[in-house]
Amino acid sequence: MSKFSRIFLIIIIITAFFIRFLLVDKFPPGLYSDETALGYNSYSLLKTGRDEFGKSWLLSFESFGDYKPPMSAWLMMPSIAVFGLNELSVRLPSVIAGTLTVLIVFFLSKEIFNKNKMIPFIAATLIAISPWSILFSRSSMLVGTEVMFTSGALLFFLISIRRPNFLYLSSFCFAGAIYTYYGARITVVLLVLTLALIFKKELVKVKLFVIGSLAIGLILLSPLIFSIVKDPSTLTGRAKTISIFYDPGIKLKLWEAHTLDGQRFPVYLSRFFHNKPYFYARDMARRYLQHFSFDFLFLTGDPHPPFKIPNFGLVFLLDLPFFLYGLYLAIRNKNKKILALTFYFFISPIAASLTFITPSANRSFNMIIGWTIFSAFGISSLINYLRHRFNILPKISMSFLILGYLLLFGTFLYRYLILIPNKNPQIWHYGRKELVSKITMLEKNYSQVVMSNKEGPAYIWLLFYKKYDPQRYWLSSNVDHTPDNLGWIHVNSFDKYTFLEDLDWRNVDKKPGILYVGYEEKIPENWSGNINGKSYKLVIDDRVLYPNSKTAFKIAHLSEE
Amino acid sequence: MLPLILSLALATFSGFWVLKLIPDKKILFFHLIFTFISPWFLILFFGQFPFNMASEKILKCNQITQGRACFLSTEFLFFLGDPRENLHIEDQGFFLLSTLPLIMSGLYISISKNETKYKLTILALIIGLVISFFVEKNPNLASGLWFLPILGIFGTLGVYRWFNYLFNKKNLQIIKLLIVLNLIWISYEALRLYLVLMLHKPFSI
């Protein structure tokens, strides 16, 4: 690599880091419940060697009943040890993983298109400014780290075709991905099988390295395998409750189809045409294809909070022609490395299509690697074509291209930094930090604090922002470990805090000496009534406001009139 | 009568187009089969209803995406179709899901060929898509007719290519197996489609 290329790469990496790192504690606004839970479990692990419920042998954290995979919490430990328990420490590993992914994309493109020097730089730049990548690098949502491991594993595997000892690194990264995210347990298996099929001739030549890397993978995964034998929930986590097989919609459709066939139609034929394997396969295909939809990729993005950017897709619309052209050239190309990347791209949404929450930006996040590299391939091929045909046009078209991307990136930043905090701050659980600090100031005068669990389990923010001693929490917590129909478990109380499914003033048990914390619409401005023969009125002690000045939470108590 | 005439006219027109692309009479047979397993054609052919463009019912492809935003989604083409009850067959879009690989193959063939007639087909698809997008704010069968027959042409090209591939001894066995499996799947879905049409009587045929 020339000196100029090296400097250019360093500039891209530094830019990518700053795009991901600057104000990461403030944007996205608030700390999402899953991020908070990972942060507190990591803190608990650091302090006690156990999780928030005091369990050891941590290969999955029970957390809200979703059995979170452990890697993200492990990676947070150094940053929490250095910077303390706060938003920055929780999100820093994701920022670093996101930046490293930019570097991986550079080298992956270089490995695949070794003759074309332009593609790696274009691909690295595209992923550095990609809304999809920024979204998951600036929040601690598991998949950011998982994609780093999976794409890293692919990179090392492709290098191993020239230098077989890189297979060990590939194996290490694949194991890392499996410890990071449940979806990777499907993606990695499919990717490894595909790579083995594509490169079987090359792998046969380096049998010893293959056996060695498989052994490394097995050793690294053996604690997990042992854990799965001990507790099967470690394998799937909450996946079983969000899988399509748990969705009653399919069974209803099946029942309806059998009914419409009528009584005179032979039962065996009715079963042949309307059966579970067909209905589930069709549903899976439907959900898989949703991830390639125009609206999902370019217009609306993920419809589910918190991954929604208002009126903005996950990738830039400008990518579309280049991506299609790049993909077309890739399919025509007989190069095995390009074929491997193509399969990686199409395998990526399979894990997501097994769940009924689709289309999903996080479960299909692996798509971003193929997307950026194919787009870069398209751009580079177009520039080369223009260069050979015309002499001046490339400069003009490049200028327009850069301007177009800058405009789109600016629009994305506006929506991400201005619109999300002002229009949808609640989706990132904004206001919890301020709420905990206000409760801490007021709670001394009350024997009990009653809070609402609506929109997220309130206990986790109390533990996190108070840096509550895990051992004290184990002693005082009342946890119902029986999962509800969505797979969640519930913390009913700890210390002086009690949590209700939804605190609604009309139904809540009203007593003096209690601090009530609820959503704006659930606690009235004025209330008065008799309790045990005495007259009381509701006093609002404080409020937490959203950035747009609307009330998020009210903190109130009953005062004798 | 208008839908029936329209369906036959579109099928004939696209048949001629296909024959122009590949001057082999066999392809007309493939085209006929592909047309008769396409739900959009069957709705027009069998349905008895006043056919109009404007659709009051909004197409929703997920919790937040609706109307024009669904226009280029696989939901619209393969799963939902026209949102109006009398213009769609339950659980089906405008094409059988199993024919998606055929359409993709046909599209790929057309892009790969450096011939004017194929380029014109691609251009016709683009023009059809643009017209369809602007002609109606709620995508439906009527607005889809601007490009559905062209997708049908790609489907036919796909069938033709697949059969040629199957009968060439030099080709890869694994690909042949995949093609056969897909053809079985298409046959199954086609039979199921006719079963739904005859037994469930979606629009009282």
User: What's the pLDDT at A263?
Assistant: 81
Inter-residue contact B59 to B66 (CB < 8 Å): yes
Q: List chain B residues with CB under 8 Å of A295.
A: 61-62, 65, 69-70, 72-73
Does A260 contact B at CB distance below 8 Å? yes
Confidence of residue A10 (pLDDT cuts 50, 70, 90): very high
DSSP secondary structure, chain B, as one string: -HHHHHHHHHHHHHHHHHHHHS--THHHHHHHHHHHT-HHHHHHHH--S---S---SPPBSSSS-BGGGGTT-HIIIIII--SSGGG--TT--SS-GGGHHHHHHHHHHHHH---HHHHHHHHHHHHHHHHHHHH-SS--HHHHTTTHHHHHHHHHHHHHHHHHHHT-TTS-HHHHHHHHHHHHHHHHHHHHHHHIIIII-TT--
Report, as an integer, the average pLDDT of A322-330.
93
Q: How far is B157 from chain A (nearest CA, A)?
A: 18
Q: List chain A residues with CB under 8 Å of B62.
A: 290, 295, 303, 358-359
Report, as an integer, the average pLDDT of A528-541.
89
- Please tell me the distance from the alpha carbon of residue A328 to that of residue A358, in angstroms, as a whole number: 26
* Interval A457-476: pLDDT, tens: 999 999 999 999 999 999 99
How many CB atoms lie under 10 A from the CB of residue A208?
A: 9
Q: List chain B residues with CB under 8 Å of A358.
A: 62
Report, as an integer, the average pLDDT of A59-78.
91
Query: Does residue A381 have a pLDDT over 80?
Result: yes
Report, as an integer, the average pLDDT of A288-298.
91
Confidence of residue A394 (pLDDT cuts 50, 70, 90): confident
- Please tell me the distance from the alpha carbon of residue A431 to that of residue A529, in angstroms, as a whole number: 30
Inter-residue contact A23 to A196 (CB < 8 Å): no
The residues of chain B scoring below 70 in pLDDT are: 48-56, 62-65, 202-205
Closest CA relative to residue A106, chosen from A57, A155, A58, A69: A155
Query: Does residue A32 have a pLDDT over 90?
Result: yes
- Please tell me the distance from the alpha carbon of residue A276 to that of residue A282, in angstroms, as a whole number: 10
Query: Does residue A265 have a pLDDT over 90?
Result: no
User: Residue A336, exposed/middle/buried by CB under 10 A (0-12, 13-18, 19+)?
Assistant: middle
Domain range summary for chain A, segments of one domain joined by +? 3-20+30-242+284-423, 244-274, 431-560
Q: List chain B residues with CB under 8 Å of A273.
A: 191-192, 195
Lowest-confidence pick of A44-48, A395-399, A433-437, A477-481:
A395-399
* Interval A508-521: pLDDT, tens: 888 889 999 999 88
Does A218 contact B at CB distance below 8 Å? no
Domain range summary for chain B, segments of one domain joined by +? 2-200
| Average pLDDT in chain A | 92
CB contact under 8 A, A300 and B69: yes
Strand partners, A556: A516, A540
CB contact under 8 A, B97 and A285: yes
Q: How far is A273 from chain B (nearest CA, A)?
A: 6
Q: What is the pTM of this model?
A: 0.92
Inter-residue contact A103 to A124 (CB < 8 Å): yes
How many CB atoms lie under 10 A from the CB of residue A192?
A: 17
How is residue A51 written in tokens?
Answer: 């999780």
Query: Does residue A390 have a pLDDT over 80?
Result: no
User: Residue A452, exposed/middle/buried by CB under 10 A (0-12, 13-18, 19+)?
Assistant: buried
Lowest-confidence pick of A72-76, A175-179, A528-532:
A528-532
Question: A542 in helix, strand or coil?
Answer: strand
Query: Does residue A34 have a pLDDT over 70?
Result: yes
Chain B residue with minimum CA distance to A263: B199
How is residue A497 written in tokens?
Answer: 């805090």
